[in-house]
Amino acid sequence: MKSPIAVVVLAAGAGTRMKSALPKVLHPLAGWPMVRHVLENVARLRPTRIVGVVAPGAKSVAAAFAPHPTVVQSKPLGTGHATKAALGALEGHRGPVLVVFGDAPLVTTESMRRLLTACARAKAAVGVLGFRAADPTPYGRLIMKGGELERIVESKDTVGAERDVDFCNSGVMCLDGRLLAKLLGGIGNKNVKREYYLVDAVAVARSLGHRAIAVEGEEAEFQGINSRAELAAAEAALQVRLRLAALEAGVTMTDPSTVWLAADTKLGNDVTIGPNVRFGPGVTVASNVEIRAFCDIEGGRIGRGAIVGPFARIRPGSEVAEDVHIGNFVELKATKMRRGAKANHFAYLGDTDVGAGSNVGAGTIAVNYDGYGKHRTVIGPEAFVGSNSSLIAPVTIGRGANVTAGSVITEDVPAGAIAFGRARQVTKKGRAAALRAKLAARAAAAKRAQKKK
């Protein structure tokens, strides 16, 4: 692996079985398009070039490869034809060329590195990642002889003892860059589909007197995604990986199977996560945080010692500082909760800055949208906002101010002030019995009228 590595990612497949207007490789997996997982995995190999092969007009897929270049496979004529389309982008490259699929996001960097290392040691022209399949029926078989790869036989073409072979082709291949044009040029299309199959590079290499090898990996890595059911299976497999990595890194999960992580979720030491918690993309959680059951967190940062939930929602752009408490049925959107601030019950804080040590009472709403634009609410340090208050943005509550419960605040409240924003209470002594009698008579009359109809 001393030679520079180039990677070709095949992403021109139509994905018709997905039955979707969204290109197959852009379907999300743990919060990322599946092709991004592939790109992230190959990037850890530090290749000098990554080239994507896309279908004509697939602008959204090409954009997903940025800043890496893409080339277009003019017609869907097989994997060999798709790889050949990348030759121009690989001009001058003399090192190994790794070919992977954009719809195979579970193949690990470690497995790809083992393949590259084995090819370098064996001085092989072609190397293939294979796996032992529990049911080899759908897969091409890797036929080995004398410790080397003799040929790859497609499932439908197997005969006799070949059908019993359980060593199967993953599709991930390593090709000698110095021989790449010759290997691809030697692939023919004498088959039922009249397509050029990359697996035939094995036979081409051997016919030219070069070596071909296979390296074994785990079957779980090589499940491709061609349908919604397979997408769901890949999501489940990836979540198991992500959960295990988090547990090994010092995170406690009450019920790991119900915690859903994004590929980029960052969790500190001694984080405790209750059941039924979902992390969307872009979440960072510091150490000693407790996230209680049924929380939904996306695009936010949570500081050390914070307590979140249960049943809390934190939306993108929010920052929860150290020792903040976010309680049940509290929603944050683009909101900053400064150190030690609290919103313990039933509140919506959108586009809000809550100062250190402030308390936001139950039922408080930061009214941030006027039908045309979003506006910010600023609550200073050590302020108190009483329950069932509406803060009509843009508005500022000063340091140490007190907003009484049930207030509608439309103007700034100075530091240290008390603000009342509600109608004055009226009490009529001794009138409750008369009111109840009146209401009962009205209800009885309505019931009699209903019976006459």
Query: What is the predicted pLDDT for the residue at 176?
Result: 97
Catalytic-residue membership of 27: no
| pLDDT band, very low/low/confident/very high, at 261 (cuts 50, 70, 90) | very high
Catalytic residue among 27, 81, 345, 375: 345
**How far apart are the C-alpha atoms of 200 and 188, rounded to whole Å?**
8
Query: What is the predicted pLDDT for the residue at 89?
Result: 96
Backbone angles phi, psi at 350, to 5 degrees: -110, 135
CA distances from 225 to 18, 99, 143, 292 (A): 9, 17, 25, 33
Query: What is the predicted pLDDT for the residue at 327?
Result: 97
Whether residue 29 is predicted with pLDDT greater than 60 in this model: the reply is yes
Nearest one of 119, 93, 87 to 6, comparing CA atoms: 93
pTM of the model: 0.89
Q: Which residues contact 447 (CB under 8 A, 6 or more apart)?
A: none
H helix count then E strand count, the chain:
8, 36
User: Which domains can be identified in the chain, with CATH numbers?
Assistant: 6-222 (3.90.550.10), 228-419 (2.160.10.10)
| pLDDT band, very low/low/confident/very high, at 22 (cuts 50, 70, 90) | very high
Query: What is the predicted pLDDT for the residue at 305?
Result: 98
State both tokens at 18: 């997905």
Query: What is the predicted pLDDT for the residue at 268?
Result: 97
Calculate what percentage of the chain has a pLDDT beyond 70: 99
| pLDDT band, very low/low/confident/very high, at 48 (cuts 50, 70, 90) | very high
Residues in the chain: 453
The one-letter amino acid at 250: G
pLDDT tens for residues 208-224?
A: 999 999 999 999 999 88
State the pairing for strand pair 313-314/296-297.
parallel
CA distances from 280 to 261, 291, 346 (A): 7, 14, 22
Using the 8-state DSSP alphabet, how is residue 333 labeled? Answer: E
pLDDT tens for residues 377-413?
A: 999 999 999 999 999 999 999 999 999 999 999 999 9
Mean pLDDT of the chain: 95
Whether residue 58 is predicted with pLDDT greater than 90 in this model: the reply is yes
| pLDDT band, very low/low/confident/very high, at 192 (cuts 50, 70, 90) | confident
Q: Exposed, middle or buried: residue 145 (CB in 10 Å: 0-12, 13-18, 19+)?
A: exposed
How large is the average pLDDT for residues 296-312?
Answer: 98
How large is the average pLDDT for residues 180-205?
Answer: 92
How large is the average pLDDT for residues 158-175?
Answer: 93
How large is the average pLDDT for residues 309-323?
Answer: 98
Whether residue 296 is predicted with pLDDT greater than 70 in this model: the reply is yes
Whether residue 3 is predicted with pLDDT greater than 70 in this model: the reply is no
| Residues 201, 127 contacting (CB under 8 angstroms) | no
